[in-house]
Structure 1
Amino acid sequence: MRPGTEDDPSEAAPDGARSELRRQVRERRRLRLALLVLVSVVLLGAVPLYFGLRTLSRDPVFDTLDELGVPGWAAVETVDNVSGSRWCLQDCRLRERTVESDRAPEETATVYEQALRSEGWRPWQVTRCPEQQAKGSYTCWRRDELTLDLWVRAPTCVPPPVDGGPAVPPSPPASPAAGECAGSLVSVKVRNAIDDERTRPQPSTDPSLTGEDPFPTFTDDPLGDLTRSPS
């Protein structure tokens, strides 16, 4: 027996069987290599895919709001809502955040305004801020291509149910008892400046800019004052 035939079965086999064994070994090697490449591609592509999907699903404006340096008592519970398209295909994106605070509206508004200033937001003095009359503190802000509306007010107090029945809001509203219905409610609305109508110049209604009516209206018969000439 030739040396090495015990370790290599292909050497002990006939030529035809040896060729078949070599072919099978090569196929197994190619299969292992392909499997290794596939696993590497999946592992290398999974991480970018995960962060890419996270970026598409998570609006970066909310990350900016998360970075506001407000104390914990000013952001007890946060609810986010988003609508519209990020690329303004039909409607531009509108980001809305509602936050509950444990302290009074005045103190809560102060810490939020300070946090906005520290993050580069600047007060925006503009008409229609608010667009409708609102109780509490309502301020508008701008930074780069974004506008922000900040509304801080007292929460809506609903009395507990009586005799197990449903809670019914009082009419007129009654003052809450001490220690009940405390804190404040914060609403933040962020829009793209190009989609905010308040950034656009409003049409003027100055009558001097309208000019004269090119088609005057006659109230009397224009032929009534004409006299026939003698023939």
Structure 2
Amino acid sequence: MRERRRLRMGVLALVSLLLLGAVPLYFGLRTLGRDPVFDTLDGLNVPAWAAEKTVDNVSGSRWCFEDCRLRERTVESQKAPKETAQAYEQALANDGWRRWKVNFCPEQPVKGSYTCWRRDELTLDLWVRERTCAPPPVDGAQTPSPAPSPAAGKCAGSLVSVKVRNAIDDERTGPQPTTDPSLTGEDPYPTLTDDPLGELTPSPS
């Protein structure tokens, strides 16, 4: 009976140690596998209609080995781009993000609303535009449909793209190049002569 009791206590102690170690291990692996920036985006107070069909993509290294981490999120919204952009901008402002007015935001002209934000060591690009729908495939056995109108490719709602980078890896956080001629200075010797040595001063006799 004594041996059985010791064996039972040993098994209980082993199970307790395994359980106590499994819980931190689970959350540790979850933390390593899940980028906390996405948790921050999940915490944005946006309406449910503005956060449907979320698709996340991540690239680069969290510790900036070779390339720093780039987080990208695409979300569909049921309402128009203007109302959707207002909802996201308000949510970002309430969460501590500040509007960032910087050159190359965006890098090239785009349709819709494109704004840039900063918070702590992160930068965020928010692009809200009209959602487009691909036309349905045409069966070869069926009679092809007539050419769609210009508005046929548009769908109700809007598409939201969010791009989050480390500020240290965002080239827009550094000095911006300029082509202002006033910053190049003036030539101290604007007049040139044919003789590179100039005219010789006659020595006194």
Same fold (TM over 0.5): yes
Which of the residues 64, 71, 83 maps onto 2:40?
Answer: 64
Q: CA deviation at 1:41?
A: 1.1
RMSD over aligned CA atoms reads 3.4
Q: CA deviation at 1:134?
A: 1.2
Q: 1:151 to 1:39 in 2, by over 3 A?
A: same
Q: Which structure shows the bigger proportion of residues in strand conformation?
A: 2
Which of the residues 155, 164, 176 maps onto 1:202?
Answer: 176
Residue matched to 2:189: none
Query: In the alignment, does 2:160 pair up with 1:186?
Result: yes
How do residues 207-222 of structure 1 correspond to structure 2 at under 5 angstroms?
A: none
- Partners of 2:90 and 2:78 lie apart in 1 by 18
Residue matched to 1:146: 122
Query: In the alignment, does 2:96 pair up with 1:117?
Result: no
Higher relative contact order (CA 8 A, sep 6+): 2
Q: 1:142 to 1:51 in 2, by over 3 A?
A: same
- Partners of 2:181 and 2:132 lie apart in 1 by 45
User: What secondary structure does 1:82 align onto?
Assistant: strand
Q: What is the percentage of aligned positions where both structures have the same residue?
A: 76
Whose radius of gyration is greater, 1 or 2?
A: 1
Residue matched to 1:51: 27
- Partners of 1:120 and 1:145 lie apart in 2 by 12
- Partners of 2:170 and 2:148 lie apart in 1 by 36
- Partners of 1:99 and 1:50 lie apart in 2 by 29
Which of the residues 18, 25, 29 maps onto 1:42?
Answer: 18
TM-score normalised by L of structure 1: 0.71
Moved more, 32-41 or 121-130: 32-41
User: What secondary structure does 1:154 align onto?
Assistant: strand
Query: In the alignment, does 2:49 pair up with 1:86?
Result: no
User: What secondary structure does 1:176 align onto?
Assistant: coil
How do residues 158-173 of structure 1 correspond to structure 2 at under 5 angstroms?
A: 158-163=134-139
Alpha-carbon deviations, 1:183-214, whole Å to 9, x = none?
Answer: 100000000100101001134556677789xx
The one-letter code matched in structure 2 to 1:182 is: A
User: What secondary structure does 1:85 align onto?
Assistant: coil
Q: 1:113 to 1:206 in 2, by over 3 A?
A: closer
Q: CA deviation at 1:35?
A: 2.6
Gaps of 5+ in 1: 1-7, 9-24, 213-219, 223-231
- Partners of 1:116 and 1:123 lie apart in 2 by 9
The alignment of Structure 1 onto Structure 2 pairs a total of residues equal to: 193
